[in-house]
Chain A
Amino acid sequence: MCIAIPSKIIKIDGNSMATIDVEGAKRTASLLLLDDAEVGDYVIVHAGFAINKVNEEEALKTIEILRKTVSMMKTASDEKP
């Protein structure tokens, strides 16, 4: 089961283990599968491992494109008889 919620890294110890915050719940995750990660980064966690960082720029861009696309579509569908 994949956990879709991005988790925030709040602490990293010397052994590539991070303490993460998942919507208020504290858990641990291994950072062994990431090249770099820092406190404050949002990561996707699967089976106890961070598998990628969330790309903030892309996250915001997607929302913007989505809003723009669907508002255009809505206009198009509204215009149909």
Chain B
Amino acid sequence: MTNRYIKEYRDDSLSRKIIDGIKATSKKKIKLMEVCGTHTVSIFRSGIRSVLPENISLLSGPGCPVCVTDQREIDIFIQLSKRDDVIVATFGDLMKVPGTDSSLIKERANGKDIRIVYSAMDAVEIAKKTPDKNVVFFGVGFETTAPTIAASILTAEKEGIKNFYVFSAHKLVPPALNALMNMDGVNIDGFILPGHVSVVIGTNAYRQFFNEFRIPCAIAGFEPADILQGILALIEQIESQKPYLVNTYKRVVSSDGNKKAMQIMLDVFDITDASWRGIGLIPESGLRIKEKFKEYNAEEKFVFSIPASQPIKGCECGKILTGLITPPECPLYKKTCTPEDPVGPCMVSTEGTCAAFYRYSS
């Protein structure tokens, strides 16, 4: 049975009225950016782009975790998967991401033990059942995912599991927003802020960013009416020239976020500098496993020898996920790069801008 939280927000007549509101309010030619892969997919799937007035452009920012993962990190994952003493556990969308010379899916075809899991806890279970192998989980994701992986490390510690490791490639959203605003050529009039990252970090986590740049910001949920409500809130701010940081997803996002989840994340991880595809090194935008938990850190356990990772030739994912160009402007798009045979990560992940464009644009 559909619960009422969904039913109300999927009401077409409500969405139509918000669209009317947007059309009545919006005058300026503007670019709005969402920074969340689930927003990307929801915007395309619901057809929001086609119903907005032409003066509003929607861009997809660095909100797809797989897409922003640095090439070197991808290469490390692939190198780890080649080891005979390792079982790799990963979320499914990393499987096809091309490394410099291979991918996880190719390594699995070569007979390597690579398992797709739904949760980091599943990887802990695999470790428990196969004590003679080292189980390495690839920690990819933002503040929504990082606490779940921290909780899996705490569970492994509590249960005395000694063969479970995490390679942390986690990224943090607010520092990326800062970095984007400071990039040459990036020109954004307002941000649709991610729904479930905000569930964890809370509205106040964007305060410093907002105070520095005074750019309209709206936290939004994922139903069409939620996203449209976020867009309407941004347009009102832009047209009145009164920027705010607003939360339009109050049914799950609070000012302080989920304090317990944040505490667990910061108990296990230290904040560190991190490299992002398309943006480069961003200070204090990643998470490293604390010294206290080093026995679970794949970087402590294994030695990597990664030759210089090569950027994917011709791939414009970096420019696409910073909103500098759209997928059709990439020379590979739809030619050599398709969801069936992707060249770059933005086409690999279902949340990637290129994959969404390919699937939903005529």
Contact = CB atoms under 8 A, between A and B. Distances in A.
Interface of A: 1-2, 4-6, 8, 23-24, 30, 32-35, 42, 44, 46-49, 51-56, 58-59, 61-63, 66-67, 69-71, 73-74, 76-77, 80
B1 interface: yes
Contacts of B199: 44, 51-52
B14 A46 contact: no
Contacts of A51: 144, 147-148, 196, 199-200, 258, 261
Interface string B15-56: 001101101110000000000111001100000000000000
7 contacts: A4-B195, A4-B221, A51-B199, A51-B258, A53-B252, A59-B5, A67-B17
B151 A49 contact: yes
B237 to A, nearest CB: 14
A33 B328 CA distance: 41
B2 A23 contact: yes
Nearest to A23: B2
A42 B144 contact: no
Contacts of A35: 260
Given A1-B93, A49-B151, A70 B18 contact: yes
A54 B5 contact: yes
Interface of B: 1-3, 5-6, 8-9, 14, 17-18, 20-21, 23-25, 36-38, 41-42, 91, 93, 118-122, 141, 144-145, 147-148, 151, 154-155, 195-196, 199-200, 221-223, 225, 229, 248, 250-252, 254, 258, 260-261, 264, 350-351
Helix, strand, loop or mixed for chain A's interface? mixed
Contacts of B229: 62, 66
B3 A8 contact: yes
B347 to A, nearest CB: 16
Contacts of A44: 196, 199, 252
Contacts of A74: 17, 20-21, 24
Nearest to B22: A73
Contact of A48 (B1, B119, B195): B119
A61 B200 CA distance: 22
